Structure 1
Amino acid sequence: MHITLRQLEIFRAVAQYGRVTGAAESLHISQPAASMALSELEKHLGPLFDRNQGAGLKMNDSGRALLPKASELIDRAKELENQFAEDGSYESGSLVLNASSTIGNNLLPKMLARFRESYPGIRIDLEIDNTRVIEQRLLDFNTDLAVVEGVCLHPDIEVTTWLEDELVVICSPDHPLANKGNIPLSSLANELWVLREPGSGTRELFDEMIATQLPSPKVAMVLNRSEAVKQAVSDGVGIACISSLAAKSTLDTGHMATIGVTGLNLKRHFYLLTHKRKYKSTVFTQLCQFILASKPFETFDFYTQGI
């Protein structure tokens, strides 16, 4: 039996894209070359994908068992190349980091700039999506690590608590309840809400803590980015519930206000997620340690400040 790293790279790419054509394009090789390499690998190991006409390729049990092992071998090989191609150190390489919207837009750009100052040879590609999409990308080994605000309970994902955050109820500056405190949630029963999309950590907390206490929340629109939610609220479309971190810059400019609702516990945490079976290279470990050691903000408690 003779299995090559190239065959494993092509297998992993096919697993990611679900089609040989997409895998070939991502690896900058021809489609026939990718098909031949996958065929040779399956000659040694047996079928790795279920093939349904017109539905692409979907990993079978053998493919799912191979994926973490193939990813580890590929990552180890890259680590060796980086170490000996440079100056003998482990301070070069690249990683893909996924983040949910609040964290990716408000915290990570500055943090990653500081990380690069310490490790200029390490490139971090940041991709932003909601918690549930990111969770699946981790399970499919399509990203190296992630930071999210949604709770993850999958047994294959290791969850490490990072920072505390708090959601706030926001409105336009000319709303009758703008910047008022001690407002009962029942007073918002007839308000129109601008919500984040299902699958986001923000939406999950809204559904759990607010929607369950209102007879039937009236939804004006659903948007998949906090920036879009803030713009809609500023334009008077409705009220919303978003992270205090995401809200701060717009509140500071006066284009948005808060409603201090009593009896709500909207505190939550941000989490670092990694796959338990992923190979943890030195570069990977350095980034994880840097993130967990970073305390980029102190959560501002809007409610106790009487806003």
Structure 2
Amino acid sequence: MALNVHQLHIFYTVAERGSFSAAAHALHMTQPAVTMQVQALEERYGTKLLNRTTKKLELTEAGHWLLPQARKAVELMRDTDAMMIRFVEDLKGRLQFAASLTIGEYVLPRLLGSFLSRHPELAVSMKVMNTTEIIDAIQHQGLDFGLIEAPCDTPGIHAEAVMADELVLVAPAGHPFAERESVELAEVLTQPLVLREKGSGTRQVVEDEIFRHGVKETDLKVVSDFGSTAAIKSAVEAGLGLAVLSVWTIKHEAALGVLKPIRIRDVSFRRQFFAVRLASSLLPMPAAALLEQLRGLSHEPS
């Protein structure tokens, strides 16, 4: 029996996910099919690779020896896909993924046009969710990958930086700050703030940076938080408070002069957008192609 790289991928996923059912979910396979492929691998080597009990799944000694080789095989397949994706010309089917709000509503719609024009037989289905929801969907709902606005250190999730972004303080026209190019952080702390909801990548980036400067959460005068960037912009325009938003999201309002981007001295809200997936997964070719295009773009919002 020839060595089947697909079987190595399945074995690796079972070992990483800790159960046949979780691996089946991640691989979009039935549990009996996953079990059958692992059994075929065990038959090839004439030894058990996994001990199955009612409580947990454990690698045998042979399984422990095979696991790093299976990981190398998966990495080789992933590297091969990345190398060959530049030659793919005829993608078909449906590309399904999720993006956090800033990326999904303001960044990708500007970028998908050229991608789809090169692959006219490919359809895109994108869900807009916050970072926490995307990670949960990848772990438990079979989502292939997502695009998020903050680093992710969740076990079993692989995150790759694909684009850059910058957040700025935003004030309405007529606010005293709107006449200035920059302000001190201490001045910002005197102002009411309208922020994204807890769990969003934007909120995490804002808090991480200002907390790094010794500010405590209780120092912030957060008058409202919203799960919608559009709602935040409307609130700022209405004078409810200041906000910190991605430069991608305020292009139109800044051009019209209704919102003014302002820098906070010595505070940098630069961040990366990340592609996230299960560490054990192989992306479908349409997903790999989209990420390759994002990597190839200018990483600065313009």
Distance change (3 Å), C-alpha of 1:61 and 1:275: closer
The secondary structure found in structure 2 opposite 1:230 is: helix
Match of 1:100 in 2: 100
- Between the aligned partners of 2:205 and 2:287, the Cα distance in structure 1 is 30
Distance change (3 Å), C-alpha of 1:131 and 1:277: same
* Offset at residue 136 of structure 1 (A): 1.2
Distance change (3 Å), C-alpha of 1:141 and 1:188: same
- Between the aligned partners of 2:115 and 2:185, the Cα distance in structure 1 is 42
- Between the aligned partners of 2:301 and 2:90, the Cα distance in structure 1 is 35
- Between the aligned partners of 2:19 and 2:258, the Cα distance in structure 1 is 53
Count of aligned positions: 227
Asked if 1:237 is matched to 2:195, the reply is: no
The secondary structure found in structure 2 opposite 1:210 is: helix
| Preserved CA contact (<8 Å) 2:195 2:244 | yes
- Between the aligned partners of 1:248 and 1:279, the Cα distance in structure 2 is 36
Give matches, 1:71-86, under 5 Å: 71=29
Q: Which ranges of structure 2 fall in alignment gaps of 5 or more residues?
A: 1-17, 35-88
* Offset at residue 182 of structure 1 (A): 4.1
- Between the aligned partners of 1:227 and 1:242, the Cα distance in structure 2 is 11
| Preserved CA contact (<8 Å) 2:236 2:243 | yes
The secondary structure found in structure 1 opposite 2:122 is: strand
Give matches, 1:277-296, under 5 Å: 277-295=280-298
Asked if 1:226 is matched to 2:223, the reply is: no
- Between the aligned partners of 2:152 and 2:209, the Cα distance in structure 1 is 18
The secondary structure found in structure 1 opposite 2:177 is: coil
**Range 183-192 or range 137-146, more displaced:** 137-146
- Between the aligned partners of 1:118 and 1:299, the Cα distance in structure 2 is 22
* Offset at residue 265 of structure 1 (A): 1.5
The TM-score normalised by the length of structure 2 is 0.68
* Offset at residue 117 of structure 1 (A): 0.9
Match of 1:152 in 2: 152
Normalized per residue, which structure has more helix? Answer: 2
The secondary structure found in structure 2 opposite 1:191 is: coil
1:17-37 Cα deviation digits (max 9, x unpaired): xxxxxxxxxxxxxxxxxxxxx
Distance change (3 Å), C-alpha of 1:258 and 1:107: closer
Asked if 1:268 is matched to 2:271, the reply is: yes
**Range 202-211 or range 262-271, more displaced:** 202-211
**Range 129-138 or range 105-114, more displaced:** 105-114
1:148-168 Cα deviation digits (max 9, x unpaired): 111111232222211221110
* Offset at residue 228 of structure 1 (A): 1.2
1:112-148 Cα deviation digits (max 9, x unpaired): 2221111111111011111111111111243222111
| Preserved CA contact (<8 Å) 1:161 1:269 | yes
* Offset at residue 227 of structure 1 (A): 1.4
Aligned mate of 1:216, from 215, 219, 225:
219
Q: Which amino acid counterpart does residue 240 of structure 1 have in structure 2?
A: A
Q: Which amino acid counterpart does residue 255 of structure 1 have in structure 2?
A: V
The secondary structure found in structure 1 opposite 2:181 is: strand
Distance change (3 Å), C-alpha of 1:62 and 1:274: closer
Q: Which amino acid counterpart does residue 151 of structure 1 have in structure 2?
A: P
Q: Which amino acid counterpart does residue 96 of structure 2 have in structure 1?
A: V
1:28-71 Cα deviation digits (max 9, x unpaired): xxxxxxxxxxxxxxxxxxxxxxxxxxxxxxxx955224322444
| Preserved CA contact (<8 Å) 1:180 1:260 | no
- Between the aligned partners of 1:69 and 1:104, the Cα distance in structure 2 is 25
- Between the aligned partners of 2:29 and 2:111, the Cα distance in structure 1 is 27
The TM-score normalised by the length of structure 1 is 0.67
* Offset at residue 294 of structure 1 (A): 2.9
Distance change (3 Å), C-alpha of 1:118 and 1:299: closer
Q: Which amino acid counterpart does residue 67 of structure 1 have in structure 2?
A: H
- Between the aligned partners of 1:282 and 1:189, the Cα distance in structure 2 is 47
Distance change (3 Å), C-alpha of 1:174 and 1:121: same
Give matches, 1:23-172, under 5 Å: 61-71=19-29, 91-172=91-172
The secondary structure found in structure 1 opposite 2:176 is: coil
Identity of aligned residues (%): 25
Give matches, 1:243-254, under 5 Å: 243-254=246-257
| Preserved CA contact (<8 Å) 1:71 1:278 | no
Using CA pairs below 8 Å that are at least 6 residues apart, which structure has the higher relative contact order?
Answer: 2
- Between the aligned partners of 2:291 and 2:264, the Cα distance in structure 1 is 36
The secondary structure found in structure 2 opposite 1:178 is: helix
Match of 2:261 in 1: 258
Q: Which amino acid counterpart does residue 266 of structure 2 have in structure 1?
A: G
The secondary structure found in structure 1 opposite 2:143 is: coil
The secondary structure found in structure 2 opposite 1:264 is: coil
The secondary structure found in structure 1 opposite 2:25 is: helix
| Preserved CA contact (<8 Å) 1:146 1:272 | yes
Match of 2:70 in 1: none
